[in-house]
Structure 1
């Protein structure tokens, strides 16, 4: 039977999504299901590893069963997943503890320790400054839960865990693909290997780390029992997959140096595309992820609550009367709010907003909080709304300033934006004006699953040139939002003011 279909599965923090595609990118069917997060005590956030597996089985079945697609015609499957949390398995590939979520802050003392003892060296080698990711978490388990650490054969992330279960792998066959390893705290990211130097310095048992492989490697075939659970044909190929940000970038066609990728969601993420590894030792703001495409890198940074800031303002200020929240109706309040923004001149008449209501992520400053600066009698809700939108773009401009300083020869060609915020024409134009880069929207909304599916297709030999395939299947939606020279000239000094504002706030909250 001709193999002409691919499946991509996105294992997110709060939901699992799957999509069934033709090789040319045509979506046949998709499905999603929520995945629970557990909060057993303050500061602790974890998940059940089994939930990743069962939710993946559920959504894959939901894709295949109503589609009339013969499972035997599905060539391969691949998973992308959340990136900064870590799981622990024993010799038989069974979990020895709940999955340690990226939202869990038990490891904070070990973030501080790694930063103090070897922060610059970790940044130089991994491409990522010490943060809440695998490294500090593994040290927490080693020092705070030594019995569980001893029973741990390998540390794994969700995508490879589910793929390994499908293929019946043992612990010695556990893997991680190279798009995750900047978050490991113990890698040599430039060379795609584990760092003996860092493992020795922090006395981490290197044998507990999985092998590092390319995303497009076939790691096995679907066994009989998992095939029944997923509705797949036994023998279906399984590719290694990638981290969710890497898969999304691939799905959006971010395959050439100078392209930008803006994920305008709950977190506001801006990723670049370069052909050089960047280690931001000076600022510890940029995180450099290896792309799925060989020879490319994605320097990125993000605002933890970028998208939530606008919702917070809507709920706490815009949609209130006499201190009482009004009902949320079917009417799109965001559209109302942003329509008012168009009446306000660029720069919000001197009003600035700092969007770090829960602490700054890049660079790490967990004690920082949000702030308004420059409030005057003339400012209205429209000014405050516009200042929120501008603050995200100012923060992005700070990231790009660092990127340009490290790679002055890099020419930025366009930004592609996805997520809920991409729907706002006003916000896209503000970003284009501040960053001085054309903004483009894309058709579709499930770029991670398509990125994973393309990886599966490459692994199965159905896609020859992955970069070209990604480029041609990422369909642009509408005309570009071209930057206004006049508005960019107005914004240029305001960007520098915003950067100084953040430096001042950082010092204030650290004191």
Structure 2
């Protein structure tokens, strides 16, 4: 029986998962990677760390299931979007990759719009420091010698592909986050490229996420003990599009809520949806002739991790959530809880403000760590409700919504999110695997192991969280106060 490998280059780790033809998870691996913050607003990573971590994650999979690994026939790749990896003409990395949550290039965002008067309509998205194009303008201005030497710009998963195959290729869903793609036509846009001083020659080739992009190189195949095999590598997808493939959110109106480093509300569509003035991301899906709308809160599970660090409880996030639940079990205390604005790294939807900051409001002497933890969980939920409002305005609200990401392990947080959003939220089996599982499915499709309908089926539901009308009403009143915090 053939097997299929999915690799996801996340912000905090690289994950790998091995599936069989029935999509049973045979083995998993993971290796952490470090985010570098050498200056305020900066967020960078060493691309060689992605490669190192991927080798460790795959070696864990191989060690766990050596015989199954030998039956590998397809690989899919997923990764954090937007992050700019600059290579010279020899394929060597020129500088640390500038990540999606880097906030240094606000000036360059405005400059792009000045250079292309219809930029928002042409790109189907607004400019923001997280995207790739303004990062290259920043490099051109502040590190001109590096900009001049840049022969290729790759996204994280595509750098990993380059190391696996020697080929420069990307897919439509990931490339949609660069601000260089004509998203409706699914091809590079020369005018958008020219606005940033870039050319098609500096871009990777484009394929659909379910198509063959390249084949595992002989050197890597030998390193992995697969010397006699020709293994297809799928185009893959951005992390959110891959997560959608992983849970079968591929039909129009299928959605998911991801609680990872950032928080994402995603809905699959059969057309390009666009509302750039309110920071709706209208992107290509990882499958042909499909698109998606997406809204992003930059701090989600990372906000809880931050609180754990500053309260010396980073080793026990589960315990921190339990303290929040205990605090909120008393209705009076819950209604008098502090409010938290979760803009620890700026905010994307709906404000597009890299300089936005986080804060607690309403702190009193009786508030303990549990009160702070509750405020953080609630504040992230309120930020995601802002995004849902934008999807509704674009007539692209999800008709069904699943939960994915590490934060979805908490039943308490899931219930709170359902109450705040007023949505039924389904927790599927395998929700923690997320993008790596979807990448493996794309590897299956590229290897010819089934149709989209057969491979991208929806998983069994582990739990369903229904909004409680009474709690939703109380939380709506607290959210009104929350909305005033940013305006103030």
Corresponding residue for 1:426? Answer: 412
Bigger Cα displacement from structure 2, 222-231 vs 485-494: 485-494
8 Å CA contact 1:259, 1:273 repeated in 2 = yes
1:210 aligned to 2:208?
A: no
- Name 1:441's counterpart in structure 2: 427
Asked whether 1:365 is paired with 2:353, we answer yes
Q: CA 1:418 to 1:92, structure 2 compared with 1: closer, same or farther past 3 Å?
A: same
Aligned residue in 1 for 2:465: 481
Q: Against the structure 1 CA distance between its residues 337 and 184, is the aligned structure 2 distance closer, same or farther, given a 3 Å change threshold?
A: same
- 1:148 is aligned to 146
Q: Secondary structure at the match of 1:332?
A: helix
Q: 5 Å matches for 1:169-180?
A: 169=167, 174-180=168-174
The equivalent residue for 2:246 is 251
Do the aligned partners of 1:263 and 1:269 also contact (CA within 8 Å) in 2? yes
What is the 5 A alignment of 1:50-449? 50-69=48-67, 71-115=69-113, 117-118=115-116, 121-122=119-120, 124-169=122-167, 174-233=168-227, 234-283=229-278, 285-313=279-307, 316=310, 332-344=319-331, 348-349=335-336, 352-362=339-349, 363-373=351-361, 384-407=372-395, 410=396, 412-444=398-430, 445-449=432-436
Residue 33, structure 1, aligned to residue 31, structure 2? yes
2 CA distance for matches of 1:330 and 1:90? 42
Change over 3 Å in CA distance of 1:309–1:456 after alignment to 2: closer
Shift in CA distance, 259/282, structure 1 to aligned 2, threshold 3 Å = same
Distance in structure 2 (CA, Å) of the matches to 1:260 and 1:345:
34
Find the structure with the greater CA-based Rg.
1
Per mean C-alpha deviation after superposition, the further-off stretch among 203-212 and 42-51 is 42-51
Find the counterpart in structure 2 of residue 508 from structure 1.
none
Q: Are the structure 2 counterparts of residues 96 and 367 from structure 1 closer, same or farther at C-alpha, using a change threshold of 3 Å? A: closer
Residues 394 and 223 of structure 1, relative CA distance in 2, 3 Å threshold: closer
CA contact (8 A) 1:122 1:130 kept: no
CA RMSD of aligned residues (A): 3.1
Question: CA distance change for structure 1 residues 385 and 72 in 2, over 3 Å: closer, same or farther?
Answer: closer
- CA–CA separation in structure 2 for the residues paired with 1:38 and 1:201: 29
Q: CA deviation at 1:452?
A: 0.7
The alpha carbon displacement at 1:330 in A equals: 10
Contact 1:216/1:239 (8 A) holds in 2? yes
Structure 2: state its 5+ residue gaps.
none
- Decide whether aligned partners of structure 1 residues 106 and 119 sit closer, same or farther in structure 2, where only a CA change above 3 A counts: farther
What is the deviation of 1:6? 0.3
Distance 1:7 1:14, change over 3 A: same
SS at match of 1:273: strand
Go from structure 1 to structure 2 and tell me whether the alpha carbon gap of 1:202 and 1:10 turns closer, same or farther (over 3 Å shift): closer
CA apart distance, 1:210: 1.9
Residues 367-412 of structure 1, C-alpha deviation per residue, up to 9 Å, x if partnerless?
Answer: 22223445678877665544433322222222111211221xx564
Tell me if the contact between 2:124 and 2:275 (Cα under 8 Å) persists in the aligned partners: no
Displacement of 1:423 in angstroms is 2.8
Conservation of the 8 A alpha-carbon contact between 2:337 and 2:371: no
Deviation at 1:298, TM superposition (A): 2.8
Q: 1:119 to 1:53 in 2, by over 3 A?
A: farther
* C-alpha distance 161-341 of structure 1, shift in aligned 2 (>3 A): same
Q: CA deviation at 1:115?
A: 4.7
Mark the CA change 1:183 to 1:30 in structure 2 (over 3 Å): closer, same or farther.
Answer: same
Q: 1:54 to 1:354 in 2, by over 3 A?
A: closer
Displacement of 1:157 after TM fit? 1.5
Deviation of 1:341 after TM superposition, in Å, equals: 1.2
Identify which range, 300-309 or 117-126, moves more after superposition: 117-126
For these two proteins, the number of residue pairs brought into alignment is: 485
Unmatched runs of 5 consecutive residues or more in structure 1:
320-324, 506-511
Go from structure 1 to structure 2 and tell me whether the alpha carbon gap of 1:148 and 1:463 turns closer, same or farther (over 3 Å shift).
same
Q: Is the 8 A contact 1:127 1:278 kept in 2?
A: no
TM-score scaled by length of structure 1: 0.84
Match of 1:509 in 2: none
Any idea what the Cα deviations from partners look like across 1:297-352, whole Å, max 9, x if unmatched? 33222222222434444565xx6xxxxx6896798232132222122269724854
3-state secondary structure, aligned to 2:324? helix
Tell me how far apart the structure 2 counterparts of residues 244 and 209 of structure 1 sit (CA, whole Å). 20
How far residue 449 of structure 1 moved from its aligned partner, in angstroms, is 1.3
Deviations 1:482-506 (A, max 9, x none): 122333344445545543443x13x
Displacement after TM superposition at 1:254 (Å)? 1.7
Please say which of residues 441-450 and 107-116 is displaced more in the overlay: 107-116
